[in-house]
Amino acid sequence: MAPAPRRDARPSSEPGVARRHLRLALVGLLALVGFALATLPASLAGRLFQRAGLTVTGFSGTIWSGVAGGVEWQGAPLGEIRWRFLPLALLRARAAAEISMSRLDGSVSAEAASALDGTLDLSDVHLDLPIEFFAEIPTGMARGWHGRVSGAFTQLRLVSGWPAAAAGTLHLSNVVMPQLGTDRIGSFEVVIPDPRAASQGSSDLRARVTDTSGTVSVDAALTLSDGRSFLLEGTVAVRDGAPPGLVRSLEYLGPADATGRRQFGVSGTF
């Protein structure tokens, strides 16, 4: 009787070879993408700017690391925008870059990452701009406000351009609010999330607004809700030396309590 054919006991190496080939292919693809980003001119990003509603007077650098000058959004000047792509984010199906905007009166910088669903995650955000800037661009903010806003965020998530999550602090200094006259009413701090708010599991974004100096004392809660709506409610009082016009304006809120504070509420949509 003929002996049975001998089988090779060694496991097939084909799966391991296939995995190595796949890794080499991915490395080659990333190298090709990196080469393209490092050499293609930044002007090729013009279509992306157009899709975002931005117009640009000129480009320099490459798609990987470039500069767009004279950027405008729907006719409102933004300034100069710089970017540097972070290629490793492509491994997570995300496009990420370090982005900064600079103008003569201020700047903004952040690391931005965009997912396939359109969500934009920002980290290491720093800004220092005049308040008037936010009335010049099409945000829906009323004109006439003056002052300066600065701050930093460790997290800021935007869904369809609206904040869905945030962690950071804003400082508003030397604020002039036209509804209360032409005098400076003081400086304020906005802390997100509100350290006093109890977690209720809702999608609303809550912040705490307090004064840091000036003739107006404020303690209020700011709520940003789906549908681009906001609600600012709390108490306000005037300090010694407040302009008479400001005192008269706050009297319309109703009688003050024993501590001189009045309840107020402001709501609207952007």
Q: CA 175 to CA 145: how far, in whole Å?
A: 7
**Mean predicted confidence (pLDDT) in 143-151:** 91
Unique residue bearing structure tokens 């084909």: 14
What is the value of pTM for the model shown?
0.79
Domain ranges of the chain: 25-104
Which tokens sit at 251?
Answer: 């009297």
Q: Given 3-state DSSP classes, what are the helix, strand and coil percentages for the chain, each rounded to the nearest 5? A: 20, 50, 30
Question: What b/e sequence results for 44-63 when a residue is b if at least 16 CB atoms lie within 10 Å of its CB, and e otherwise?
Answer: ebeeebeeeebebeebebbb
- DSSP class of 7: P
Distance CA 125, CA 163 (A): 14
Q: Report pLDDT digits (tens) over 56-82.
A: 999 999 888 899 999 999 888 999 999
The residue type at 156: L
Distance between CA 261 and CA 235 in Å, rounded?
A: 6
pLDDT of 1 strictly over 60: no
pLDDT digits (tens, 9 = 90+) for 199-256: 656 788 999 999 999 999 999 999 999 888 999 999 999 988 888 878 888 888 889 9
pLDDT at 176: 87
76 versus 182: the higher-pLDDT residue is 76
Q: What is the pLDDT of residues 112-139, one digit of tens each?
A: 988 777 789 999 999 999 999 988 887 7
Predicted local confidence at residue 221, as pLDDT: 96
